[in-house]
Amino acid sequence: MPLGLGRRKKAPPLVENEEAEPGRGGLGEEEPGPLVGGGAGRPQMGLPPPPPALRPRLVFHTQLAHGSPTGRIEGFTNVKELYGKIAEAFRLPTAEVMFCTLNTHKVDMDKLLGGQIGLEDFIFAHVKGQRKEVEVFKSEDALGLTITDNGAGYAFIKRIKEGSVIDHIHVISVGDMIEAINGQSLLGCRHYEVARLLKELPRGRTFTLKLTEPRKAFDMISQRSAGGRPGSGPQLGTGRGTLRLRPRGPATVEDLPSAFEEKAIEKVDDLLESYMGIRDTELAATMVELGKDKRNPDELAEALDERLGDFAFPDEFVFDVWGAIGDAKVGRY
């Protein structure tokens, strides 16, 4: 089927492994289940797997980014459950958790937790802080915002382009959650939906943003970051493997991405920002996973429509994604 014809368009920093040391073979080879990794206790070939009670548990350490004692969390299989475990550890409502960063308490978008956690990563949870309402005059078509989301219903600002409309409004910062535009609630919306709404706002008009900033520690009060640097690459974990959190199905422990996969994910994430005004390393990783064994752009288009049809990716974007994956395969970085 030719591309574009007949495509569907749908509107401490350590892991404690209490019974076996992770990272010694068998990562990601266990049967599906909540947070199960391989390890030294892995059975010999031909023997049945151990019962769930004897399998090694993955335990992560976490703190609140503005300051707290260290908590221990385990037993989550997706991002929503992760936030629930963090809230439970610190006796907070789950809705208070905005997003998490890995190995830093700062609002560093290069260290944002997406769909993968290194097995030795320390998780810092950023919770809701001050709310603010800002009027913005849209003097240009592009506002200079890159949007991402936390995978659990909150969209927030990941990058502010230098010299842009938003860059001149100093009360707006990277990490701010976008709660509403002109009174329309955005809670539960994905990043691409929020980016589209912002893009569709008429030029030459004033609109209102309702924002919530993450609660800051004392050493972060005066901080206003421009967000992740272009080309800095996705942060997919620093441990001996990564825990892959999936929207559907159980979490799995996987090897660290190959050099090809890391570069392809980075290039696809750049394309997402260029075409859609969003950054999402987990989405980019899923697209690379779908496209790395496809023989032509048409097969990639069909795979994207089947798995990610809600995004309704335009044909020119699919062609560029196909090219980015191909370039990374042959080492054209």
**Fold of the domain built from segment(s) 56-215:** Pdz3 Domain (2.30.42)
- Whether 16 has a pLDDT exceeding 70, the answer reads no
Report the range of poorest mean pLDDT among 60-69, 79-88, 228-237.
228-237
Q: What is the pLDDT of residue 225?
A: 52
Distance CA 139, CA 308 (A): 33
Task: Retrieve residue 73's tokens.
Answer: 């969390």
CB 18 within 8 A of CB 57: yes
Please write the tens of the pLDDT for every residue from 78-95.
888 999 999 999 999 999
Confidence band for 61, pLDDT divided at 50, 70 and 90: very high
Give how far the C-alpha of residue 135 lies from the chain's centroid of Cα atoms, to the nearest Å. 28
Residue partners of 112: CB distance under 8 A and separation at least 6: 99, 100, 101, 102, 148, 158, 228, 235
Supply the angle between the helices 281-291 and 259-276 in degrees, to the nearest 10. Answer: 120
Supply the angle between the helices 315-329 and 297-308 in degrees, to the nearest 10. Answer: 110
Phi–psi pair at 318, nearest 5 degrees: -60, -40
Q: Once rounded to an integer, what is the mean pLDDT over residues 230-238? A: 43
Q: Once rounded to an integer, what is the mean pLDDT over residues 50-58? A: 55
Q: What is the pLDDT of residue 45?
A: 44
Report the range of poorest mean pLDDT among 150-164, 216-230, 273-287.
216-230
Q: Once rounded to an integer, what is the mean pLDDT over residues 239-260? A: 70
Q: Once rounded to an integer, what is the mean pLDDT over residues 18-37? A: 36
- Whether 146 has a pLDDT exceeding 80, the answer reads yes
The angle at the Cα of 194, spanning 111 to 64, to the nearest 5 degrees, equals 35
Q: Once rounded to an integer, what is the mean pLDDT over residues 45-71? A: 73
Give the Cβ contact number of residue 222 at 10 Å. 7
- Whether 226 has a pLDDT exceeding 60, the answer reads no
Confirm whether pTM is higher than 0.75. Answer: no
Residue among 53, 135, 116 at smallest CA distance from 256 = 116
- Whether 193 has a pLDDT exceeding 90, the answer reads yes
Q: What is the pLDDT of residue 105?
A: 94
Greater model confidence, 50 or 330: 330
Domain boundaries, the chain: 56-215, 257-330
- Whether 287 has a pLDDT exceeding 70, the answer reads yes
Please write the tens of the pLDDT for every residue from 106-124.
999 889 988 788 888 999 9
